[in-house]
């Protein structure tokens, strides 16, 4: 489990595509000794498993993750190349502060950015949610985009928007995001269960 609070920005150092699996090496600022083999790390939203950990020649911590073809096809990971910057979050530990909302790291779909507008010192991003995910997104509800817990400011059909303050733009990859970029979308877990309960009651 995660909270959608980004704690570091990682950088893809290398990518090796194999038979049904791609291996990515990611550099980060975490202490190598604190990452156990098999640890779950949210990388740009998806929950991935650290398969190796070492300290690189430049002093940065380096960990690798293996990604299946299914995950490559259903997330933006298929677009990652050397130099790609990604939001990172370590898995939630008992006693940690729940600063965002409960996030599983299981991506529901990919949403393109269809609007990027300056709103005072903040920036408003508008997205197009793929069907049928838009029904799980509600105004003032929570959504996880590229591993970041955000509040939905408004909804219009299958489009919704969020507003990011300067701090969030600086400490995540959101400052790099532009019109047309695709982001990983995970809908609120509670919204999914409520919708499922309603479907059950209606049958």
Residue 139 and residue 179 in one domain: yes
Please give, one letter per residue, the 3-state secondary structure of 71-97.
HHHHCHHHHCCCCCEEEEEECCCCCCC
Would you say 127 and 159 are in contact if contact means Cβ atoms under 8 Å apart?
Answer: yes
Residue 26 and residue 78 in one domain: yes
Residue 17 and residue 59 in one domain: yes
Residue 152 and residue 75 in one domain: no
* CATH number reported for the structural domain that contains residue 142 in this entry: 2.40.30.20
Residue 115 and residue 193 in one domain: yes
Give the pLDDT confidence score for residue 100 in this predicted structure.
87
Residue 71 and residue 128 in one domain: no
Is 82 inside any structural domain?
Answer: yes
Would you say 25 and 108 are in contact if contact means Cβ atoms under 8 Å apart?
Answer: no
Please write the tens of the pLDDT for every residue from 144-162.
Answer: 999 999 999 999 999 999 9
Is 115 inside any structural domain?
Answer: yes
Peptide bond into 171 cis (omega under 30): no
203 has a pLDDT exceeding 70? no
193 has a pLDDT exceeding 90? no
Please write the tens of the pLDDT for every residue from 71-82.
Answer: 999 999 999 999
Give the pLDDT confidence score for residue 173 in this predicted structure.
98
| CA proximity to 55, closest of 24, 32, 39 | 32
Residue 77 and residue 123 in one domain: no
Give the pLDDT confidence score for residue 24 in this predicted structure.
98
202 has a pLDDT exceeding 70? no
Residue numbers of the domain that contains 121? 109-202
Residue 78 and residue 127 in one domain: no
- Report the C-alpha gap between 159 and 182 in whole angstroms: 14
- Report the C-alpha gap between 18 and 36 in whole angstroms: 24
Residue 114 and residue 198 in one domain: yes
Residue 62 and residue 134 in one domain: no
- Report the C-alpha gap between 154 and 158 in whole angstroms: 11
In the listed set 90, 118, 138, which residue is the last one of a domain according to the structure?
90
3-class secondary-structure state, position 2: strand
Helices (H), 75-188: 166-171
**Structural domains in the chain (count):** 2
Please write the tens of the pLDDT for every residue from 32-67.
Answer: 999 999 999 999 999 999 999 999 889 999 999 999
In the listed set 58, 90, 122, which residue is the last one of a domain according to the structure?
90
List, in sequence order, every residue forming a beta bridge with 136; answer none if it has no partner: none
The pTM of the full predicted model, rounded to 2 decimals, is: 0.93
198 has a pLDDT exceeding 80? no
């Amino acid at each position: 489990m995660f909270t959608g609070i980004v704690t570091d920005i990682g950088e893809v150092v290398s990518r090796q595509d194999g038979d049904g699996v791609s291996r990515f090496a990611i550099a980060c600022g975490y202490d190598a000794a604190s990452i156990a083999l098999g640890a779950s790390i949210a990388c740009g939203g998806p929950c991935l498993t650290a398969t190796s950990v070492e300290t690189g020649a430049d002093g940065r911590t380096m960990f690798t993750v293996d990604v299946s073809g299914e995950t490559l096809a259903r997330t933006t990971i298929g677009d990652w190349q050397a130099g790609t910057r990604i939001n990172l979050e370590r898995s939630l530990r008992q006693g940690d502060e729940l600063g965002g909302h409960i996030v599983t790291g299981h991506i529901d779909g990919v949403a393109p950015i269809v609007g990027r507008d300056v709103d005072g010192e903040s920036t408003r991003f508008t997205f197009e949610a793929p069907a049928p995910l838009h029904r799980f997104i509600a105004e003032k509800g929570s959504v996880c985009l590229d591993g970041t817990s955000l509040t939905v400011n408004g909804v219009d059909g299958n489009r919704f928007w969020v507003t990011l303050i300067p701090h969030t733009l600086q400490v995540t990859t959101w400052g790099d995001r532009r019109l047309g970029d695709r982001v990983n979308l995970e809908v609120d877990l509670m919204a999914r269960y409520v919708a499922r309960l309603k479907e059950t009651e209606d049958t």
